[in-house]
Amino acid sequence: MTTENFISKNIQANFTTGSVSWQSPSNIALVKYWGKYGEQLPKNTSISFTLSNCHTKTKLHYTPSNTHKFEFEVYLDGQRAESFEPKILKFFERIEVYMPFLKQFKFRIETGNSFPHSSGIASSASGMSALALCLMSLERLTNSDITDEYFYAKASFLARLGSGSACRSIQGPLVVWGEHPVLPGSSQLIGTTLPFEIHDNFKDYCDTILLVDQGEKVVSSTVGHDLMHNHPFAEQRFNQANQNFEAILEVLKTGDFDKFISIVESEALSLHAMMMTSEPYFLLMKPNTLSIIHKIWEFRRETSSKICFTLDAGANVHVLYPNAEKEEVSRFIENELAVFCENGKYIHDVVGIGAKVLL
């Protein structure tokens, strides 16, 4: 598979006016992507659980246009969101080579997230994947020969060009991004699902997102990935992630909870360690992040729970646990962890199967 495969072919020029809509989920990485090169290519293989309740809904209205320019407006929750437009323009410029018909339309992009805008949950994965899927629905209208396999592969390819981790938000329940020798079919260009059945222990896994800090991100992902260039521990980190990926694949087959916990927590802390040891350095955890981690460890020591945590590039904590423990863990979160969340807020989510078209 090369980038050539994703250049639109056989476009029929019978453009009309209409709209298409998709709902696309966020995802949470178990082995993290942190460091990229070239045109949004990952330095190591990553794997994530696809979420379901945290999602973006996007409606793309299109009208034929002959201005030969990119023409679009973005609306967030019904309000014009001009601050999003430079990012979308950059995305359109990047994908134009793969979708040469883009300038033949004027677009109105209406989008909204299921989670609050200021929750500290990144909307780029769900937002970029929803937009990529809408654009693929439009491409399909111009070319009815497109297979489902190509449709989803190209949606993931385009989403990656908008935001790396977005390529893992098209399908589910687990998506790999980045070529790895132990997994034939894995790719630098797109997210792919696992070619084997995962162990029952990891089916319907739960993720409760504790909103420790609902502010804007301290370090944008662009700045964060850049910190990995000339980072003294970069190569070791990429090797560690690739080894953790290989190990977690085994765990997903065998159902080994303890190994799962140690890989997932180590990945979260390694990601933060990279930011603490970069130049300039950043500390993205808050005191409450640490209090939550200690509470989770204590709970695990005192009970037979298989609860664990992971982190994104911020202070919020994702609490992961098997569906079978839902009741006890929900009680623990409400009684002992909610106090560390801003305004006591958290979001219960569960692993899902990916994006869906909205009619």
Binding site for ligand DP6 (CB under 6 A): 29, 32-34, 40, 46, 122, 124, 163-165, 221-222, 225, 271, 312-313
Task: Give me 42's structure tokens.
Answer: 């990952």
Query: What DSSP letter does each residue of 172-236 carry, written as one string?
Result: -SEEEES-BTTBTT--SSSEEE-SSPPPGGGTT-EEEEE-S--S--SS-HHHHHHTTTT-TTHHH
Measured from the CB atom, is 146 or 313 closer to ligand DP6? 313
Measured from the CB atom, is 220 or 303 closer to ligand DP6? 220
Residues 201, 315: contact at Cβ < 8 Å? no
CB of 9 to ligand DP6, least distance (A): 27
Task: Give me 324's structure tokens.
Answer: 């079978």
CB of 181 to ligand DP6, least distance (A): 20
CB of 49 to ligand DP6, least distance (A): 11
For helices 124-142 and 148-162, angle between their N-to-C axes, nearest 10 degrees: 140
Question: How many degrees, rounded to 5, is the angle at CA 288 between CA 285 and CA 290?
Answer: 60
CB of 238 to ligand DP6, least distance (A): 13
CB of 347 to ligand DP6, least distance (A): 16
Measured from the CB atom, is 21 or 171 closer to ligand DP6? 171
CB of 167 to ligand DP6, least distance (A): 9
Name the residue among 55, 35, 24 with its Cα closest to residue 349.
Answer: 55
Residue 337 is which amino acid? L
Measured from the CB atom, is 124 or 126 closer to ligand DP6? 124
Give the count of beta carbons closer than 10 Å to the beta carbon of residue 343.
Answer: 7
Residue whose tokens read 């430079």: 86
How far, in Å, CA of 204 to CA of 192, rounded?
A: 19
Measured from the CB atom, is 106 or 180 closer to ligand DP6? 180
**Residue with the closest Cβ to ligand DP6?**
164
Residue whose tokens read 């800090």: 213
CB of 40 to ligand DP6, least distance (A): 6
Ranges of H-type helices in the chain = 85-95, 124-142, 148-162, 221-226, 234-254, 257-276, 287-302, 326-332
Measured from the CB atom, is 23 or 221 closer to ligand DP6? 221
Measured from the CB atom, is 271 or 315 closer to ligand DP6? 271
Measured from the CB atom, is 34 or 321 closer to ligand DP6? 34
CB of 32 to ligand DP6, least distance (A): 4
How far, in Å, CA of 219 to CA of 275, rounded?
A: 9
Task: Give me 157's structure tokens.
Answer: 């390819």
Query: What DSSP letter does each residue of 246-267 carry, written as one string?
Result: HHHHHHHHHT-HHHHHHHHHHH
Measured from the CB atom, is 74 or 311 closer to ligand DP6? 311
Contact residues for 20 (Cβ-Cβ < 8 A; gap 6+): 59, 60, 62, 134, 137, 138, 357
CB of 141 to ligand DP6, least distance (A): 28
